Amino acid sequence: MTDTFRIRPMCAGDPERIAAEERAQGWIHASAEKYETRLRDAAAGRCAALVAELGGAPVGYINVYWTPLAGPLADMPEIVDFGVLARIRRRGVGTALMDAAETLAAGRAASVCLAVGLHAGYGAAQRLYARRGYVPDGSGVWYRDQVCAPYAPCANDDDLVLYLSKPLRGGA
């Protein structure tokens, strides 16, 4: 059975609805503020903020920033903050969101980048990005928006990331 969902721009009612769903699935620190920031950035032309909608409710989200927020890859758009509600996963929503984000990025650059967390909570995303052709950029692990020097202390939290990139059209 295929669910019918659509990808659309994020709108004013979405941030609290998404955050409430995330809290319901156990993400106790989920806040609408992150999504409100994405809406403000989209309104200012810094990014495209998209949601997947199913049955009139947002069930996933993705953002494409035209200039990266941090990291080593300043010459390409960056996919930021991608997620699908746990109860909706494995239905093609994440693939559709990634397809939409990559299509938008391809309209501006030959490649796109993203950062993925390294702890087990990001395992599904890590596998998805590898299947889609994303590869590490070679700059190493980043922690709190800085390269983490070899043997430097860090925590395996959401701020410990690896940058990946993918060619979208004609080149590497």
Q: Is residue 22 part of a domain?
A: yes
Count of C-beta atoms within a 10 Å radius of residue 158: 12
Phi, psi of 58 (to 5 degrees): -70, 135
Classify residue 92: in a domain, yes or no: yes
pLDDT at site 23: 87
pLDDT of residue 67: 94
For residue 62, what is the domain's CATH number? 3.40.630.30
pLDDT in tens for each of the 172 residues of the chain? 356 889 999 999 999 999 888 888 888 788 888 999 999 999 999 999 999 998 888 999 999 999 998 899 989 999 999 988 878 888 888 999 999 999 999 999 999 999 999 999 899 899 999 999 999 999 999 999 999 999 999 999 999 999 999 999 754 4
In a domain, 129, yes or no: yes
For residue 172, tell me if it sits in a domain: no
Report the C-alpha gap between 69 and 3 in whole angstroms: 34
Task: Tell whether 16 is covered by a domain.
Answer: yes
Domain that holds residue 69: 5-167
pLDDT attached to residue 30: 82
**34 is a domain residue:** yes
Pairing status of strand 57-65 against strand 78-84: antiparallel
What pLDDT score was predicted for residue 105?
Answer: 97
With respect to residue 134, please indicate whether it lies within any of the assigned structural domains.
Answer: yes
Task: Return the axis-axis angle of helices 32-43 and 14-24, rounded to nearest 10°.
Answer: 150
Q: State the total domains in the chain.
A: 1
List the structure tokens of 160. Answer: 């410990």
C-alpha–C-alpha distance, residues 139 and 129, integer Å: 17
Residue 45 belongs to a domain: yes
